[in-house]
Amino acid sequence: MSAKKIFEQIGAVIEKWPLGIIIVAILMMLIAFQGAGLIEHKSGTDTFVEKDSDLYQNYDHIYKQNFGNEVIMVLIDSDDVRESEVIEAIDDFDTLIARDKDVENVISMASLIKNTAYSVTGHSEIPNNYDSILSIIDLLPSAYVDQLMPDNTHTIIMVQLPGNIDEDNKERVLTRVERTIEVVDFPTGTNAVATGEPAFMIAMSEEMSSSLQTMLILAFVLMIFALLMVFRHVRWCLMPLPVVLIGLIWTFGAMGYLNIPMTMASMAVFPILIGLGADYAIQFHNRVEEELAKGESVEEAIIDTITHTGPAVGSAVVATCLGFIALLISPVPMIQDFGKMSLVGVLLCYIASMFVLVSILYLLDRREEKKKRRYPARQASVKKAEQKETAIGKVLSHVAMFSAKRPLIIIVLASVLAAGGLYADEHVGVQTETKDFVPQDMRALQNLNKLTTVVGGIDQINIIVRTDDVLDPDLLQWMLDFSEREEESNSYITGSSSIASLIESSHGSIPSDKDTITSVTDSMSSVVTDQYIEGSNLAVINLKLESDLPSEQITTAIDLVKSDMEWYDPPAGTTVTVTGSKVMTNSIIDALTSGRTTMGYLGMVIIFLGMLVIYRDWLKAVSTILPIVMVTGWIGGVMYLLDMPYNPLTATLGALAIGIGAEFTILMLERYFEEREKGMEPYDAMEKAASSVGPAIIASGSTVIFGFSALIVSSFPMISDFGKVTVIAVAFSLLSTVIVLPPIMVNLDRWRIKHQSSDKLENKNTKYSKVNV
């Protein structure tokens, strides 16, 4: 059965059961609300890297679970944090927050002073005078003090959480930390603020939700404006909006049931779906109006609309989905989820447009027919719409015909610009600083920056050490020597810490015998040693990076450490692995940005092959993809000229632009061949296609642009930049459809007609010659 026959039957079902379809849509919305409650917000490690990768296993399962516990930092500043009133207030805080079931340890100057006081006096308490506190601090190893009290006006409380704590409990503990800060009676002039990575990530997740709400509201407002501006020539011109809302609700529900999380990238999908969903609805709505304007009955108009527009928009949806499929090859789960959401959302918006919108229009038109028997204004309104559409279409048909009749100039110029853009694209910069992806006025970011400034940077390269005995003297000496070498030879390393540095700080050197080492470590607080060793087989070396290093320099620092480890081997039986958040982040950013070209070209190949399978016609497949290839080049050129660097989200733009842009070319191509099947010549068919479907393409393209424009106001710079570039991409796609597609399509079609005529003539002459012989 042909596609048109299938869609004709779908049209008959819609015509027969419009009310039933609407009831089913409402029931699906109720089910979707249940699914939406299952959506998980994610902003952690597993949004950036696959859980089964070595990178994730080394960082999350080995380093983070054993040494990199989630740590909420409380930064305290005062005139002198060594004053007894400040230390006592810190002790009160420690006591209160340590009672929480999800707090593993609380490390502070107060806890260290109490432990040392107990070993000296036998009483675990804070001395009540300044001099006594100073004398106890002098007894502490410098490694302890430097970590918790970088200077006399600042100190840090480290609230350690389990490495496997879930997001809800992490947020709960952070809230309790903030409330405890308010409850504790810190002296006048002393300020305390909760910060660190967990606080920052939680704040970012909250900002994501707020930003998403703002974007959705703005997207709908912009859509109303767009529809009133470019689609007002039809009745009920705002009807696409409630249909898009239905598609969005279904998408939210599908996310919950399919376990697709909400991430920094996936939140950008919804304004995109608003634009695309309105686009599909406009195509169906416009065709219903066109069929009615021909004088068809409501029943005929509905069936003809589904028969012709259903496959055309369906092919466009397939092309868009094929472009999104290219995103699934990304090594980054966040981008994969972006692709999954886009796929599901586009399909659901298409279904909503075809079934729900057309059913609503059918019911409204049946009511209008009843009114028309009493009021003849109905026919006048249709004619008025037809006249306005013709006026818009006339301009587009002139532009299309101008281009179609000048193929050499148009195609050569477009190709030269595309080639130049593709070349320039290779020189477009890449934005890799993760702090630049989030709102710069976030209080959590400002607090984190302050913490970084106070402690001289919190970024580290972590080295996991696996061995039979972490307290072996030779191994400890190697750890100390290697750390000192890195500090001296690697200009990006500003400090180091390990169990070896603690022992050296307490004893003056690494003891040569195991018993002495054991004695030294036993005298230390387990709260401190647990940061560096786990059992007898696992240890960690922390190499402190210079603060605010650009990504390129961090990569260099990591490479230098790995290189040094190759020629300065640890003792036999010991293995070392470089890991840490910075190692992982740099690998992720590299994977995101280096894969953008691959995703773009893969998107082109997938769409071309998909169109070849659907149409079984190389001309249609080539005509679909060539204008979009031009657009890809133009975008690269514009980004280079505007000095807009790629970020992890805009790196997906190649595949995205191809998928979205292919829709416009397919809609024009489908209408062109529909007119050709009626017997029109190529130029006439192109003129008719541009004048009839052109206005709908411009209207739908405008709504897509307005929908994407909502991304620009996002408080997240990464999403805002993505919005800017996608708006340019859609505008270029419209331009390419009206100017570049006509000469390609018409002249390839004419070439094929001429070629087929020559073959027929040759076959006829051959047959004639055989007859004469």
Distance, CA of 104 to chain centre: 33
Burial category of 597 from C-beta neighbours within 10 Å (exposed 0-12, middle 13-18, buried 19 and up)? middle
Whether residue 417 sits in one domain with residue 292 = yes
Q: Tell me whether residue 98 is in a domain.
A: yes
β-strand pairing of 575-579 with 460-466: antiparallel
Whether residue 101 sits in one domain with residue 7 = no
* Residue pair 493/556 in contact by the 8 Å Cβ criterion: no
Radius of gyration of the chain (CA): 33
Whether residue 597 sits in one domain with residue 483 = no
Q: What is the pLDDT of residue 296?
A: 80
Q: Tell me whether residue 178 is in a domain.
A: yes
CA distance 418 to 76: 56
* Residue pair 630/416 in contact by the 8 Å Cβ criterion: no
CA distance 708 to 728: 10
Alpha-carbon dihedral sign for residues 291, 297, 299, 300: negative
Structure tokens at 74: 């409380």
Whether residue 633 sits in one domain with residue 598 = yes
Distance, CA of 45 to chain centre: 14
For the beta carbon of residue 130, count every other beta carbon within 10 angstroms.
Answer: 14
pTM of the model: 0.69
Query: What three-state secondary structure class fits 193?
Result: strand
Eight-class DSSP state of 356: I
3-state secondary structure 408-467: HHHHHHHHHHHHHHHHHHCCCCECCCHHHHCCCCCHHHHHHHHHHHHHCCCCEEEEEEEC
Phi, psi (degrees; rounded to nearest 5) at 430 = -125, 125
Q: What is the pLDDT of residue 69?
A: 60
Alpha-carbon dihedral sign for residues 737, 741, 745, 746: positive
Q: What is the pLDDT of residue 1?
A: 62
Whether residue 510 sits in one domain with residue 599 = no
Whether residue 636 sits in one domain with residue 495 = no
Q: Tell me whether residue 415 is in a domain.
A: yes
Phi, psi (degrees; rounded to nearest 5) at 656 = -65, -50
Eight-class DSSP state of 238: T
Q: What is the pLDDT of residue 329?
A: 76
Q: Which residues of the chain have pLDDT under 50?
A: 377-389, 768, 770-771, 773
Burial annotation 720-743 (CB, 10 A radius, 16+ → b, else e): bbbbbbbbbbbbbbbbbbbbbbbb
Among 197, 430, 323, smallest CA distance to 733 is for 323
Whether residue 604 sits in one domain with residue 569 = no
Whether residue 25 sits in one domain with residue 163 = no
* Residue pair 354/277 in contact by the 8 Å Cβ criterion: no
* Residue pair 270/212 in contact by the 8 Å Cβ criterion: yes
Residues 6+ apart with CB under 8 A from 673: 620, 685
Whether residue 261 sits in one domain with residue 395 = yes
Q: Tell me whether residue 612 is in a domain.
A: yes
Element containing residue 209 per DSSP (H, E): helix 197-230
Owning domain of residue 349? 3-43+231-434+590-759
Q: 404's torsion region: left (phi>0), alpha (psi -120 to 50) or beta?
A: alpha
CA distance 323 to 302: 30
Where a domain ends, among 547, 573, 599?
573
Whether residue 476 sits in one domain with residue 369 = no
Whether residue 563 sits in one domain with residue 475 = yes
Whether residue 159 sits in one domain with residue 80 = yes
pLDDT tens digits, residue range 68-78? 567 888 999 99
For the beta carbon of residue 662, count every other beta carbon within 10 angstroms.
Answer: 32
Strand-pairing partners, residue 304, are none
Q: What is the pLDDT of residue 61?
A: 60
Alpha-carbon dihedral sign for residues 762, 765, 770, 773: negative
Residue 370: half-sphere exposure toward Cβ, Cα within 13 Å: 5
- Overall residue count recorded for the chain in this entry: 773
Structure tokens at 145: 């003090």
Where a domain ends, among 573, 604, 631?
573
Q: Tell me whether residue 770 is in a domain.
A: no
Q: Tell me whether residue 450 is in a domain.
A: no
Eight-class DSSP state of 355: I
Among 186, 87, 184, smallest CA distance to 134 is for 87
Among 489, 481, 462, smallest CA distance to 570 is for 481
Among 740, 718, 161, smallest CA distance to 437 is for 718
Strand-pairing partners, residue 41, are 262
Q: Tell me whether residue 335 is in a domain.
A: yes
For the beta carbon of residue 70, count every other beta carbon within 10 angstroms.
Answer: 22
Q: Tell me whether residue 216 is in a domain.
A: no
Burial category of 477 from C-beta neighbours within 10 Å (exposed 0-12, middle 13-18, buried 19 and up)? middle
Residue 696: half-sphere exposure toward Cβ, Cα within 13 Å: 32
Say which CATH number the domain at 629 has: 1.20.1640.10
